Amino acid sequence: MRAVCALHAIRTLRAHGMCHEDTQTVFRCVVVAKLTYAANAWWGFPTAADRQRVEAVIRRGVRSGLCRSDILTTAELIEDIDDNLFERILWDKNHILHALLPDRPCSLEYELRPRSHDRELVPKVNSLIESNFLIRQLYKNCYKQSNCSVTSCFLTVLSISL
């Protein structure tokens, strides 16, 4: 794995006198960038074991002092990257991937819950389709979260019905 080679190179730089802050910057710019490069395209396909190996590189950097201990996990980093890209695709009609989004429904006869996007949900036929970036993002958090907990919503409904 090339990220492991980069870890060795950063350790060598530190051994030759590079300051602590600079080694952390190099770690972020080289190792984290390599791990998250094009993650939108490939993150849905690796198994849990493969994802743990990617996380292990970050943990190794933290353990050896090449990285701050408060760095986000790889899954959190990639989730943020995915969310940002999906928002840009969804709202920018000139984005190259905007044409790949499913159509908007013609008319809704009823509305159960407000959704975070206005696109149709494509059926998940197999695991290959489920791993696709756009399909993952369409299904992820497709319904807006309400601010009330289940108990408080239940009590509100109960008080209205009485």
**Residue pLDDT tens, the chain, 162 long:** 577 788 888 888 888 998 989 989 999 998 999 888 988 888 888 999 999 999 999 999 999 888 888 888 889 999 999 888 888 888 888 988 888 877 766 665 666 666 666 666 777 777 777 778 878 877 776 655 544 444 344 333 334 444
pTM: 0.68
Could you state, in order of their start, the residue ranges of all structural domains in the chain?
A: 2-72, 101-161
What long-range pairs does 33-40 form, CB within 8 A, spacing at least 24?
34/2, 34/3, 34/6, 35/3, 35/74, 36/74, 36/77, 36/78, 36/81, 39/77, 39/78, 39/81, 39/82, 40/78, 40/81, 40/82, 40/85, 40/133
